[in-house]
Chains A and B, each alone.
Chain A
Amino acid sequence: MSSIPMEYYLILSAFMFSVGVAGVLIRRNAIVVFMCIELMLNSANLTLVTFSSYLGNPIGQVFVFFVMTVAAAEAAVGLAIIIAIFRNKKTVNIDEINIFKW
């Protein structure tokens, strides 16, 4: 553990987060966007775990459990919404689901 410096984990985490953000902003498939959001959550988890381990404070790991629980619930709800949208519009392409406007 101690042989790998903390920065590596953090850089990895930042990279994963950036990939997630880019995916959310760029991809058009709702499922992929959804996966990218999971990626962002997990990168945050990684940061929490890293700091928890290096600082010797278990609270970070407790947080991660919470995040995972919420992420699981969110995945269930999010997928359900996507399925509902698909049933209505026969597509999960975000470009075609632009009803959030005046």
Chain B
Amino acid sequence: MINLIYLTVLLPLIGFLVNGLFGRKIKNEKVIGIIGSAAVGISFLVVLGAFIQTLGLPAEERSNTVELFTWLRVGGLHIKFAYLVDQLSLTMSLIVTGVGFLIHVYSIGYMHGDKGFWRFFAYLNLFIFAMMNLVLGDNFVVLFLGWEGVGLCSYLLIGFWYDRKFENGTTSQAAKKAFVVNRIGDFGFLLGMFLIYMTFDSLNFNQVFSRAASFPVAESTFGLIALFLFIGATGKSAQIPLFVWLPDAMAGPTPVSALIHAATMVTAGVYMVSRTSILFASAPVIMTLVAVIGLLTALMAATIGLVQNDIKKVLAYSTVSQLGYMFLAAGVGAFSASIFHVMTHAFFKALLFLGAGSVIHGMHHEQNIQKYGGLKKYMPKTYMTFFIATLAITGIPGLSGFFSKDEILWSAYANGGFVFWLIGAITAMLTAFYMFRLVSLTFYGTERFDHHHVHPHESPSLMTVPLMILALLSVVGGYIGIPKVFSGEHGNLFESWLEPIYAPAQAKLATFGSHTHLEEILLMALSVAAALSAIYFALHVYTKKPAIAENVSSRFKGIYNLLLNKYFVDEIYEAGVVQPIQKGSDLFLWKIFDIKIIDGLVNGLAVLVQSGSGIIRKIQNGVTQSYALIMMAGIAVVLLWLILSL
């Protein structure tokens, strides 16, 4: 099955072509939905087959390259179109195709009746195609192909309802914002690629990584490479300073938010950092930067999430916050913990978004949680699954989120220090608070919607079944990564599965400080206790005494407004970056450079030729004899010249 891995890329592409080219003709939603879902479903089976086959191999033979063809051959640069099937890419592929398949099925129900139904599935399949290239690529160029591809699909899908309003603008503005911000990150990634090629004379992963370990390269070069790559990662994975696009990406249909802006695409940055772990490990300064940025992003997004009223916005900021956790883990050298969190997060965050989609579906596209309330009895299945996902994200022991989050916090403590752990734990507490605020306002308390116009109803089983499967995964998904404290000598299965990928990086990193099991369990208990108290507080405030929330928000009006307006980051960017660029383009680039210099140059040349020819054309007066005279004069000059030169 490893050799058939190209099918996982080819099938979604075929699905995209069929639905994209003939979808308008097919019209039948069932056929379109089945084509789209089957393409991804079969891909998932192929990946699963490759995974099982790889599991059967001894650890040192688990990394296989599947070469398809030579893509580029320019001078000394040979780029093969090849896929790298190893532990890391298989893990990511399983997440992408598995969660992707469930979301495709869900979309059949969610997008029912939409006039762009076929377009939606075409884009989704194109996205899976790009994402699979991203995670499977055997060199930076194939990765970059996928990297740009998912950016494009993200743009297409955020602006899917291009004729709808979104906040103060249109969905296409949100899509454009996402695309432009992503491009800024991509630019960093490109620079990183150039530098890698200059330094290591190759873009192939295996070659670059083995040379990174053996070539005598200055630490500053490593630092620059890692910095550029990290800039790329901040764009795609919505970290400070490029996180602003993700909340706006919620303009797209909810399954898109679940698939692209929670479970898969936004983890591309984490995957890339993890894939190039050796380069990051060789640049300790950048590692610290990654950890700090991740930590700050996690904290900042969590605080914003506390006061948002749009159900999808809360989840969007939650996603940014969780991505911050993943970068924190990568920054402190716990790469496998960050990928572990990618996986568990994919399960519970996809579930949360799909659950939110189900609520929105049942509430006639109302997204304001202040207008929900008491939905528990109307949509029991959605409520149950949403509740499980909430427990998972808050890190309640026994659910998947607990294992991954705890591992990250523990690594932060062991490698980063107490402050890292403390901020991480505070973020976990905030997460628990805003998630239960969301649950309380949505499913508990008084019904605040208009009963005459809104009739909440449970979604069809096409939507609830994927929810249930994801809920199951959110519960059990964590058990493949039980921390060493509990599992004893078996160790962490997930960590040992990924270990060969990170072995070179770990060798470069400082060794773990020695900490006792007691410390680990104590810290775990502390963070769980903090989360539980936050849950209790949120439930108390938002179901029993809503007055407290209003009191607090009016007493701390300044802070409340700051958070509600997302620290005014958008406004600052608007004033500090967008406006100057627009003004500069308007006043200088357009009115001076374009009109005066470029147009002036072209028009000036034309005027020059015109006036020159105005003089010369007088020669052509139609009198044959004057032509003959000029000819004679020419001959005379030539003769004269010949005679004189002799």
Cβ–Cβ < 8 Å partners of B625 in chain A: 24-26, 33, 94
B-contact 0/1 string along A33-54, CB 8 Å cutoff? 1000000000000000000000
Contact B622 A100 (CB under 8 A): yes
Contact B632 A94 (CB under 8 A): no
Cβ–Cβ < 8 Å partners of A102 in chain B: 617, 620
Cβ–Cβ < 8 Å partners of B624 in chain A: 94, 97-98, 100
Chain B interface, >50% SS class: helix
B-contact 0/1 string along A69-102, CB 8 Å cutoff? 0000000000000000000000000110111111
Shortest beta-carbon distance from A17 to chain B in Å: 11
Contact A101 B620 (CB under 8 A): yes
Is A21 engaged at the interface, CB distance under 8 Å to the other chain?
A: yes
Is B646 engaged at the interface, CB distance under 8 Å to the other chain?
A: no
Bound-state CA distance A21–B625 (Å) is 11
Bound-state CA distance A61–B142 (Å) is 80
Bound-state CA distance A25–B621 (Å) is 15
Contact B628 A101 (CB under 8 A): no
Is B623 engaged at the interface, CB distance under 8 Å to the other chain?
A: yes
Contact B628 A25 (CB under 8 A): yes
Among residues 609 to 643 in chain B, which have CB atoms less than 8 Å away from a CB atom of chain A?
Answer: 617, 620-625, 627-629, 632
Contact B628 A94 (CB under 8 A): no
Cβ–Cβ < 8 Å partners of B620 in chain A: 101-102
Bound-state CA distance A102–B629 (Å) is 19
Bound-state CA distance A24–B632 (Å) is 11
Contact A98 B629 (CB under 8 A): no
Size category of the B interface is: 10 to 19
Shortest beta-carbon distance from B636 to chain A in Å: 10
Cβ–Cβ < 8 Å partners of B632 in chain A: 21, 25
Bound-state CA distance A95–B620 (Å) is 14
Bound-state CA distance A25–B635 (Å) is 14
Cβ–Cβ < 8 Å partners of A25 in chain B: 625, 628-629, 632
Cβ–Cβ < 8 Å partners of A100 in chain B: 622-624, 627
Bound-state CA distance A6–B617 (Å) is 45
| CB-CB under 8 A for A94 and B617, given A24-B628, A25-B628 | no
Bound-state CA distance A97–B623 (Å) is 7
In the complex, what residue of chain B is closest to A100 when comparing beta carbons?
B622
In the complex, what residue of chain A is closest to B636 when comparing beta carbons?
A21
Bound-state CA distance A102–B614 (Å) is 12
Contact A99 B622 (CB under 8 A): yes
Bound-state CA distance A91–B196 (Å) is 83
In the complex, what residue of chain B is closest to A24 when comparing beta carbons?
B628
Cβ–Cβ < 8 Å partners of B621 in chain A: 98, 101
Among residues 367 to 407 in chain B, which have CB atoms less than 8 Å away from a CB atom of chain A?
Answer: none
In the complex, what residue of chain B is closest to A30 when comparing beta carbons?
B624
Contact B623 A94 (CB under 8 A): yes
Cβ–Cβ < 8 Å partners of B622 in chain A: 98-101
Cβ–Cβ < 8 Å partners of A95 in chain B: 623
In the complex, what residue of chain B is closest to A98 when comparing beta carbons?
B622
Bound-state CA distance A101–B626 (Å) is 12
Bound-state CA distance A95–B621 (Å) is 11
Bound-state CA distance A98–B624 (Å) is 7
In the complex, what residue of chain B is closest to A27 when comparing beta carbons?
B625
In the complex, what residue of chain A is closest to B621 when comparing beta carbons?
A101
Cβ–Cβ < 8 Å partners of A33 in chain B: 625
Q: Which of A97, A98, A99 has the most CB of B within 10 A?
A: A98
Bound-state CA distance A64–B12 (Å) is 84
Bound-state CA distance A33–B625 (Å) is 10
In the complex, what residue of chain A is closest to B617 when comparing beta carbons?
A102
Bound-state CA distance A25–B632 (Å) is 9
7 CB-based A-B contacts, threshold 8 Å: A21-B632, A24-B625, A25-B628, A25-B632, A94-B624, A99-B622, A102-B620
With A100-B622, A102-B617 already in contact, 9 other A-B pairs whose C-beta atoms are closer than 8 Å: A24-B625, A94-B623, A95-B623, A98-B622, A98-B624, A100-B623, A100-B624, A101-B621, A102-B620
The 10 closest A-B pairs by CB, nearest first: A101-B622, A98-B622, A100-B622, A98-B623, A101-B620, A25-B629, A25-B625, A102-B620, A101-B621, A24-B628
